[in-house]
Chains A and B, each alone.
Chain A
Amino acid sequence: MRVLLLPLLFAATTLFATDAMDRSAGSPNAPVTLEVFSDFQCPHCARLHFGAIKEALGDCVASGKVRIIYRDFPLQQHPYARKAAQYADAAARIGRYDRICDALFRTQEEWGRTGDVEGTVAKELTPAEMAKVRKILTDPKSLAEINNEIDADMALGYKIPLSETPTMILSGGGKKYPVKGDVRYDLLKQLINSLPVK
């Protein structure tokens, strides 16, 4: 029984969990990729996160058709967006990206007012996990790595060029489409299904 359960558990982990380092969810072999450029302080990004993205995670990501890659695009007009991205990326390194992502989007109005990103993150993690996150963010080398990741995501966004958040880049079957705003999942799903992938 255990022999049967272990591969199943592994498969489920691969399909549903967010990858700790590269902030992605779903099978790396998925024929369709959805890159989500978002800003933790942007209300439309929060709506997209709890709407179409959550529905996609439970549907086409779970079925192995789509892989979601989360990209940071903190906007200049949001003073704490970059700090939030740093905490989320640090949480990704300890395998808690999903949880912190949810918390930051859910409480964006509160920490967006006070700037207390750390307090928001601390409420979601165990003291041991929070200590790890703090260690990552106080270590100049790992902080520089995180900042480089954010800068690389932003450079990618500017190259598209990205004019607003959230913006998703849907690619598969040799096609690539930009999808802007907090779109409805039924429309997004029809677009995904229209891609010429097996």
Chain B
Amino acid sequence: MYRVIAILGRLLLAAVFLYAAYTKLRDPWMIFAMEIDAMHVVPGSSVEFVARTMPWFELLIGVLLVIGILTRYVASIATALLVCFFSVLLVLYLRGFQGDCGCFGPGEQLGPKTLARDGVLILLSIWVTWEAFRRSKQAPVATI
């Protein structure tokens, strides 16, 4: 039963990343670029690079989490990415930024709800990571 919950947790995290990628990739990259630019957290020269690559990176993480390969590493990267997003959004919120959070395409204004949701996602991602490491230790080692 616990194993099933662990798989569901991993799939839920994957779904979040896949949905985040989809909402960015369905629109031209410039929409996401303008959201990033409005935040003034990325140098102007890097905005295009981040806007073009981030959705594909999220897609890759989502796909790898669904397949379940390299889960320890992928989940660790997902956690690091979510912590990074959360930190940036928290700083922006404290600064009084009122624009879009850029999480799932345009239209979501940064607010306490966004931060609470991202906090929950971090906890989920930490648990998925921890579970992946725990299982890898338990896995039988091949012997000759």
Contact = CB atoms under 8 A, between A and B. Distances in A.
A164 B98 contact: yes
A187 B107 CA distance: 18
Given A163-B109, A194-B28, A180 B33 contact: no
Interface in B17-39: 27-28, 30-31, 33-35, 37-38
Nearest to B107: A178
**Interface of chain B, helix or strand or loop or mixed?**
helix
B68 interface: no
A187 B34 CA distance: 7
A191 B109 contact: no
B9 interface: no
A191 B31 CA distance: 8
Nearest to B38: A181
A183 B37 contact: yes
A105 B106 CA distance: 27
Nearest to B48: A187
Interface string B95-119: 0001110000011010000000000
Contact of A180 (B27, B38, B47): B38
A188 interface: yes
A30 interface: no
Contacts of B37: 183-184, 187
A180 B30 contact: no
A190 interface: yes
Interface of B: 27-28, 30-31, 33-35, 37-38, 44, 47-48, 98-100, 106-107, 109
